[in-house]
Chain A
Amino acid sequence: MIKLKNNIATSENGFIFNPSTGDSFTSNPIAAEIISHLKSGISTTEIKTILLKKYDVEVKQLERDWEDYMLQLKEANLLTF
């Protein structure tokens, strides 16, 4: 299960701070929403369901964007698996 690392600090406006490395990132509103869900500990399936209900997006498109964003989070060393 994909999870945000425990010590990652986030804010409602999408700012992310990794206290282990000192790296900080800004996110757009939807990315901030995903981060918030990841932080709350719900599963990726549940997050995707929420996004599909809330936004006008095809499943295929969501999957593509999801993979892309997870890759970015992984490269930024923000995830645990």
Chain B
Amino acid sequence: MSKNTDHLCIAVTGLNANDNPGPGIAVIRALRDELGDKIRIIGLAYENLEPGIFIGNQVDKTYKIPYPVAGTEALMNRMIYIQERENIDVLIPNFDAELNNFIKLAESLLAIGIHTFLPSLQQLANRDKINLKKFGDQHQFKVPDDFVIHKEAEIIKAADEFGYPLVVKGKFYEAYVAQNSNEAYKSFHKLYAKWGLPIIVQKFIKGTEINIAGLGDGKGNVLSAVAMRKLYITDKGKAWAGVTVEDEDLLTLAKNFAKASSWKGGFELEIMKDDKGDLYIMEINPRFPAWIYLTAAAGQNQPAALVKLALGQQVSEFKAYKSGKMFIRYAWDNIVDVEEFQKIAAFGER
């Protein structure tokens, strides 16, 4: 049943607006742009120092939630506690690692009034880094060759096949370009320690980095797709500045992905365009990216559209967006009294 978008209460995760930012604050900004000040935003945080907790004009109230490793029961218990106080209408998760639990809980959350618009567990698994090459081969998408490895020694096999440089990627996050075997081993151990096994060793593709933020309706259609060329890239490979571009091939790729996967919800395609103009899918992120506010600025407010979809409202396909819209991210020292910090640290809500 559809619901009016006035006075909505929307819960958002990913408030870690740091140098490798979660998408939460950008999602909230897009929602406030379209749905106005009448909405109430509930932040859901894992750590006391997630900067979004303290951005008062964006987040009305924040609750800490258990880490994904605590499992669905702990998360559901916490969500019930929060729901008794907040009456949340829609929840938008923004971290890869938490999606598994939220997808499993989607029906239980709906039973207490919390709507989501998420992919299935199968869809989530298909685009996983470990399965991405197979997914690409099945649907005629170009994906760089890779080896999924469990031992350091297996790097030799990958290097023999691909040569250097090659890309060493963690199971969930982070990737390093290794110029030689020393760097490859170092990257392997760094990623192993942080994210566990397996590690993905991928062939290096030289080209231009372009990302596409998209919204799939779950029926094989992409309702919105906005392409962004990275202009400034941090040492963690994140776009710190970017510009929207218009390229029919990129939009066709997004449409083909939605069709092949019947993707439901927000997604991001990380693309490398090589010298010949071939488009390689480097990764598929199962959620909105941190630069998602640019979609709203360019004329396709994807987070607001997702809220409407979650509430069962009809959303028409966006037809165009403005190319040449740029984002230039910046860091800001937010001043906070320790009493405010104490609320979240001691009581788990602020």
Least CB distance from A72 to B in Å reads 18
User: Interface size of A by Cβ–Cβ distance < 8 Å?
Assistant: 8
Assess whether B48 is interfacial by the CB under 8 Å rule: no
Residues of A within 8 A of B174 (CB): none
Least CB distance from A11 to B in Å reads 11
Given A21-B208, A21-B229, A22-B229, CB of A9 within 8 Å of CB of B324: yes
Given A22-B243, A22-B245, CB of A17 within 8 Å of CB of B229: no
A19 B323 Cβ-Cβ under 8 A: yes
- Tell me, in angstroms, the Cα distance from A24 to B245 when the chains sit together: 11
Q: Which residue of A has the minimal Cβ distance to B227? A: A22
- Tell me, in angstroms, the Cα distance from A17 to B245 when the chains sit together: 10
- Tell me, in angstroms, the Cα distance from A22 to B229 when the chains sit together: 6
Give a binary string over B241-252; 1 marks a CB under 8 Å from any A CB, 0 the rest.
011111100000
- Tell me, in angstroms, the Cα distance from A11 to B217 when the chains sit together: 39
Least CB distance from A37 to B in Å reads 23
- Tell me, in angstroms, the Cα distance from A15 to B112 when the chains sit together: 55
Give a binary string over B216-238; 1 marks a CB under 8 Å from any A CB, 0 the rest.
00000000000011010000000
- Tell me, in angstroms, the Cα distance from A22 to B245 when the chains sit together: 6
| Chain B CB within 10 A, most for which of A7, A9, A17, A19 | A19
Q: Which residue of B has the minimal Cβ distance to A19? A: B323
Least CB distance from B328 to A in Å reads 13
A20 B324 Cβ-Cβ under 8 A: no
Least CB distance from A26 to B in Å reads 15
B246 A17 Cβ-Cβ under 8 A: no
Residues of B within 8 A of A9 (CB): 324
Residues of A within 8 A of B228 (CB): 22
- Tell me, in angstroms, the Cα distance from A20 to B229 when the chains sit together: 10
Residues of A within 8 A of B324 (CB): 9, 17, 19
Q: Which residue of A has the minimal Cβ distance to B249? A: A20
Least CB distance from B123 to A in Å reads 30
- Tell me, in angstroms, the Cα distance from A17 to B325 when the chains sit together: 11
- Tell me, in angstroms, the Cα distance from A21 to B210 when the chains sit together: 9
Residues of A within 8 A of B243 (CB): 22, 24
Within 8 A of B (CB), among A1-49: 7, 9, 17, 19-22, 24
Within 8 A of A (CB), among B119-147: none
Residues of A within 8 A of B246 (CB): 7, 19-20
- Tell me, in angstroms, the Cα distance from A7 to B245 when the chains sit together: 11
Within 8 A of A (CB), among B189-220: 208, 210
- Tell me, in angstroms, the Cα distance from A11 to B244 when the chains sit together: 18
Least CB distance from B25 to A in Å reads 24
- Tell me, in angstroms, the Cα distance from A18 to B245 when the chains sit together: 8
- Tell me, in angstroms, the Cα distance from A9 to B323 when the chains sit together: 10
Least CB distance from A46 to B in Å reads 29
Residues of B within 8 A of A20 (CB): 245-247
- 23 A-B contacts (beta carbon < 8 Å): A7-B246, A9-B324, A17-B324, A19-B245, A19-B246, A19-B323, A19-B324, A20-B245, A20-B246, A20-B247, A21-B208, A21-B229, A21-B245, A21-B247, A22-B210, A22-B228, A22-B229, A22-B231, A22-B242, A22-B243, A22-B244, A22-B245, A24-B243
**Could you list 9 further interchain pairs (A-B, Cβ under 8 angstroms) beyond the known A21-B208, A21-B245, A22-B245?**
A7-B246, A19-B246, A19-B323, A19-B324, A20-B245, A21-B247, A22-B228, A22-B242, A24-B243
The residues of B with any CB-CB pair to A shorter than 8 Å are: 208, 210, 228-229, 231, 242-247, 323-324
